[in-house]
Structure formats: C-alpha cells, structure tokens
Structure 1
Amino acid sequence: MSLDWSKILSSSDAFPESPSSIKAIQTHISYVFVLDDVVYKIKKPVDFGFLDFTTLEKRKHFCEKELELNRRLCPDLYLGVEPIVKTPQGYQIGGEGEVVDYAVKMKRMPEEGMMSNLLRKNSITERHIDLIVDALVEFYKNARTGPGVDEYGSIETVRFNTEENFSQTASYVGTAIGPHRYEYIVSYTRDFIEANRDLFERRIKEGRIREGHGDLYSQNICFKDTEKVYIFDCIEFNERFRSGDVASEVAFLSMDLDYHGRQDLSDYFVKRFIEKSGDRELLQILDFYKTYRAYVRGKIGCFTYSSEEVPENVRAQALEDAKRYFNLAYGYSGGRPTVFVVFGLTGTGKTTLSKALSSRSLATHISSDITRKALAGVRPEEKHLEPYERGIYSSDFTERTYQRMLTLAEEAILEGRDVILDGTYR
C-alpha cells in the first residue's frame, strides 16, 4: 500500500530539525518537504516505464544516485540520504525503527534566489546568464562521454525518446493538445531525424554527447546574488534522459526562457554558450531539441494533471501549463497559429459551431457577444435587451467590440494559440 507522506509527515516531530514550519509539495513522482533550513525529497512508488520506484530497494538506489549525480554541480548542497522509520509513536525521518522508505536531504535554497522567482519579477540579467554559461561549459567539458554515453546521442535513441513522448501523450490529444498540432509535431520530428542522419552522427564523433543534467530549466537553478549559481535536481532515474547532446540541454533552458517571455535572454544564452564552447553547429539542431524539450514539459504537465492525489487546483494549472508547452513545441517545429472566422446572421448557430470547433481544436474562442458584454460591464450569462442598433448594439459600440476582439486575438496568437472569432460581422 502506498503511504501519503504529505499527511503522515505533517508534524514537526517527524523531522530531526523540529522545524517551525513545513511546506509539503507533491509532483507526479515525489513528495517534497520544505523546512526552515533543509529540504527532504521522497520518491513515490510509481512506475511510468521510463521511471520505476516501485520497490524500497529501487527508491534507496535512486536516492543514492540523486546524491552522487547532483554533487557534480552542487557538492555542498546535497547532504545525504536519510531513512524513514516506523516507531511506536509513528513515522519519522532518521532514528531507530523499521525502515520503510528513504529521503534525500539537501540544504534549502533561498526563495529570493530561485531563477523561476527572479524571472517572474523580471530580475534576471545577462550577468545571471553568464554565471550559468560558465558553470555549464566547465561541467560539460568534464562530464562523462565516449562508450556508454555516446549511444544516447544516436538516431536510434533520439527516435526512441521522441516516439515514447508521442505514445505517452496520445491519450491527451483533444485535452492538452489539438489533433492537428499533435500530428504536425510528430511529422516534423520524424522528418527532421530522417533528413539529418549525418548531423546526428557528426555530433557524436565531435564529442558533443555527454552525461549531463537532464532537467536544465529555471525551477532547478538558484543564485546567490550575482556571485554564484547552483544548478541542482538533475535526473537520476534514467540515464537515457540525463545523457545526450549538449544541444538538447542548451535547448531546454533556452525554451524555458522563451516560456517565461524572455526571448532576449534566451537568444543571449545560446549566443554566449556557443562563444564559450565553440559549438557553432549547435544552431543547426537547436529548434529540433527545443521542440523536444517543450514537448517533454507538456507531457509532464499531462502526467501531473492525471495524478488524482495532486490537489485539484494544481492539476488544473498543470493542464494549462501543458497546453502552453505544446504550443511552444508547435512553434519551434515551424507551425503557425490559425485564425478561424465564424460569421453569419444572428441565430444561425455560429456560437454552437465555434464552441464545437474550439472543443476539438483547443483554439481560443472569442465571442462577440461575450466581448460586447465585457466592455459594458455585463456578466456573460446576463440577458441584456436594447432597441435595435442602440446602446451596446449601436454601430459605434459594435466597432469597439470588434476592435477588442482583434486585440484579444493578437494576444492569443503571440502566445502561439489558434483563435476562433465568432460574430455577425455585418
């Protein structure tokens, strides 16, 4: 039976530090407990095919692997692996008793230094990016490569990774990604692999395949002012995800900066990495890997959305995040947003058709009726009667409505979404 550690370890007595506060966070694969000065991470007994934590022995092994691998970039951040024991008084971290699970223990990073928080505050600068580039170039120079690693950059492995993504997200087509966009990304990916065999093989020969981080994005990066960077929480559970072309890792953080609306820093990061590493060929494969990385993040969002034990609000947000990541993947693969215009006389079924089309394609439905009411401060469901071509139905107000619809459409298109404009347009 799987134990819900978020409820069991809710008391400060369960931790040797006796913290004054406990913040429990759940993902689809772990429980994370943020205390005053330290963080504990417990793996869930789940099996996703690419990840298997189903036995105590496996969870212990991967806790130890997490410690070993993350100390490559953060030797002073990861403190150890602690047993979770059952005592007559209950469950606790450390101490004497029956060992029922294990937790990775690490120092708590300052919230104000987390890259994701700094991005939300628009506080990331080129100096921060320089710190990341310097750390990564040195890391990849010394990272494991050659036999036992190089195969992860082969066409066979790359194809396996992408096809795995597509098979694992097929059930979310129509929920998190529209059918056309799914098919477009699949086709682009397969065509790119087939057309660039020489490029993949050349990058192996040039030593560009390394045992890297595997999860290089802002959630796993923290700064101490603009003096030091910590890049933590690498993938320990699957060497295939951790190892590959360094271009794939660069693409991940570049994509993440795009996701946060900082394409300027994304471009700067890629430019500085190429300058420092000398890897000018990276640009030829960057969009392919940005497509792949955005799609992986979309897939993870889908998994979180499907995790029933995760709070409903977190699941709902995960689905919206997945849609955004899939939209990014579509754009990187060369796809462009589509604008549908549904128009006709009043009462002919425009809105019914628009809603059906939106439900199937996941396009953003912009209704003239709802937009008109919003401009007038009227609730969408409220009936509002006016004489013919008077009040909110006057020609001037109608023109304002259509202009507002265009503005909303432009905003959606800039975010990579398809749009349905629904109005009479007379």
Structure 2
Amino acid sequence: MTQNDQSDVIAFLADPATHGGATQGRAAHGGTGPVGVIATHISQVFLAGGRAFKLKRAVTLPYADFSTPERRLAFCEKEFVLNRATAPGLYLGVRRITRTREAGLEFDGIGELADAVVEMVRFDQEALFDRFAVEGRLDAALMSELAGTIARFHADAPVVHAGSGSQRLAALIDMNSASFAESDVFSRDEVSALAGALRQRLARHAGVLDTREAAGRVRRCHGDLHL
C-alpha cells in the first residue's frame, strides 16, 4: 500500500472554524464545537455539527486507487450517485476542496483541486441496527420492512453482463490474494492455500456462474450495504 500526504486537508476538515459559517452559498451546518473523526483504512469521516464529511485516504491498494485528488473526486461522485439512490435523506452532495491564493483551503472555490469529500447528514449512531440488536429492538415488523426495501432495490438494479460471471470472481480472488500478501496477518503459505482452494471451487462452479450471467441474473447491487 502506498499513501500520499493529506495533512493540510485533514487539518482543514478537523478545524472547527471550517464548519462555522456559510460557504459558497451553503448554509452553516452547526456551530464551532469540536470536530469528531471516525477513521477506517480507506477513509476518514469528519463530524461537524449536523454534517459529516467523508474523505478518501490517498492510498493505492489492489482494490482501490485513490492516489490523486482527481481520482478521489471521481470516486466521491460515484459513491454519491450510488448511495443517493438508497439514502437520499442522508447524502447531500460532493464538495470540492480547493486551494486559495493565500495557500489555504476552502470548499468549492475556483483554485486548484486539493481533494474532495462526500457531504452527508450526520445521523444518530444509536439509530444503527447493531445498536437495536443489542438492545432487543429489532422486531419482526422492522425486519420485514427492511427486507422489502432491499428486495425492491435489488429488483430495480440494472443487469450487468460485462465481466460478471466466473471471470469476475477469478479477478476478485487475485485481488484479495494481493491484498492479503501486503498484510502480516497471514503467511504466504496461508494466502497461497486459500487462493488455491478458492480457485478450485470456482472451477467447479464456473459453468453455473457463467449461465447466470448470460441469463441476466447478475445485477449491479450494493457491495457495501450497512445497516
């Protein structure tokens, strides 16, 4: 994994002053209190007032290339389009972070592109279904409603043909193997054994997978659906 420097962008997003006033025609989103940060291996989410700003880390991985501001902007736009369809009340848009003449940063200026973020409505973490499960609040009615919503989303999802049969899964096995090889969690022998077992199973079921693809049974759904 390679990673580029984003320290100035991170400092900009973590600064309460960044979020304290209206910017480029957009209303302020809630005060100048401390900015919270949620970090993952490929992103950082900055929580400011009633808004959340998701920044993609400048990393290059076997499954994700966020190495340049332009690529991160493009991936932010793709993420917004996909997730706006399922959560229109949460996903507000994509904000460009641009450089100012004074060598500072601002949202949606006319200067050079420095980075990009997905802007979202900040939601109560207690509303997540994992919290509901712990507290025993996931009842049958709620789960039935959720199942219906996901089923309708899948039914309306576009059919995908190009590279969606056994070849696609073969590429995923290769990609995962490359990712595992960069980690010290598994030994080389373990990675090799896992990849070999997966390729063996794939060869056994390749005919079925390719038949499903040809019949239009593979759809562009959501590979990272969180509850």
Distance 2:112 2:11 in 1: 19
The count of aligned residue pairs is 213
Distance 1:127 1:59 in 2: 39
Output aligned runs, 1:144-223, within 5 Å: 144-145=158-159, 149-172=160-183, 175-177=184-186, 182=191, 185-216=194-225, 220-221=226-227
String of CA shifts for 1:66-96, please: whole Å, max 9, x gaps. Answer: 2111112122321111122344494343467
Distance 2:157 2:203 in 1: 28
Q: Which residue of 1 aligns with 2:18?
A: 14
String of CA shifts for 1:226-253, please: whole Å, max 9, x gaps. Answer: xxxxxxxxxxxxxxxxxxxxxxxxxxxx
Distance 1:36 1:211 in 2: 34
SS at match of 1:72: helix
Aligned partner (choices 127, 134, 143) of residue 157 of structure 2:
143
Structure with the largest fraction of helix: 1
Q: Are the structure 2 counterparts of residues 171 and 53 from structure 1 closer, same or farther at C-alpha, using a change threshold of 3 Å? A: closer
Distance 1:2 1:117 in 2: 35
Unpaired runs of at least 5, structure 1: 222-426
Q: Which residue of 1 aligns with 2:126?
A: 112
Q: Are the structure 2 counterparts of residues 126 and 49 from structure 1 closer, same or farther at C-alpha, using a change threshold of 3 Å? A: same
**Is the counterpart of residue 127 in structure 1 residue 136 in structure 2?**
no
Contact 2:62 2:178 in 1 (8 A): no
Contact 2:14 2:46 in 1 (8 A): no
Kindly state the Cα deviation for residue 134 of structure 1 after the two structures are TM-superposed: 0.9
Distance 1:64 1:208 in 2: 27
Identity, in percent, stands at 26
Aligned partner (choices 1, 6, 13) of residue 3 of structure 1:
6
Distance 1:127 1:180 in 2: 47
Q: Which residue of 2 aligns with 1:79?
A: 92
String of CA shifts for 1:353-380, please: whole Å, max 9, x gaps. Answer: xxxxxxxxxxxxxxxxxxxxxxxxxxxx
Q: Are the structure 2 counterparts of residues 128 and 89 from structure 1 closer, same or farther at C-alpha, using a change threshold of 3 Å? A: farther
SS at match of 2:162: helix
Q: Are the structure 2 counterparts of residues 93 and 171 from structure 1 closer, same or farther at C-alpha, using a change threshold of 3 Å? A: closer
Q: Are the structure 2 counterparts of residues 21 and 191 from structure 1 closer, same or farther at C-alpha, using a change threshold of 3 Å? A: same
String of CA shifts for 1:204-231, please: whole Å, max 9, x gaps. Answer: 2443211111112xxx22xxxxxxxxxx
Q: Which amino acid aligns with 2:174?
A: E
SS at match of 1:211: coil
TM-score normalised by the chain length of structure 2: 0.80
Contact 2:45 2:53 in 1 (8 A): yes
Q: Are the structure 2 counterparts of residues 167 and 54 from structure 1 closer, same or farther at C-alpha, using a change threshold of 3 Å? A: closer
Distance 1:30 1:139 in 2: 26
Q: Which residue of 2 aligns with 1:41?
A: 54
Q: Are the structure 2 counterparts of residues 181 and 50 from structure 1 closer, same or farther at C-alpha, using a change threshold of 3 Å? A: closer
Contact 1:39 1:106 in 2 (8 A): yes
Contact 1:63 1:81 in 2 (8 A): yes
Kindly state the Cα deviation for residue 37 of structure 1 after the two structures are TM-superposed: 1.2
Distance 1:136 1:207 in 2: 19
Unpaired runs of at least 5, structure 2: 22-28
String of CA shifts for 1:99-154, please: whole Å, max 9, x gaps. Answer: 42221111112211112333444543333332332112111111111xxx223431
Please give the root-mean-square deviation of Cα atoms over the aligned residues, in Å.
2.6
Kindly state the Cα deviation for residue 57 of structure 1 after the two structures are TM-superposed: 1.9
TM-score normalised by the chain length of structure 1: 0.45
Distance 1:45 1:180 in 2: 30
Distance 1:99 1:169 in 2: 33
Output aligned runs, 1:295-334, within 5 Å: none
Q: Which amino acid aligns with 1:194?
A: A
SS at match of 1:150: coil
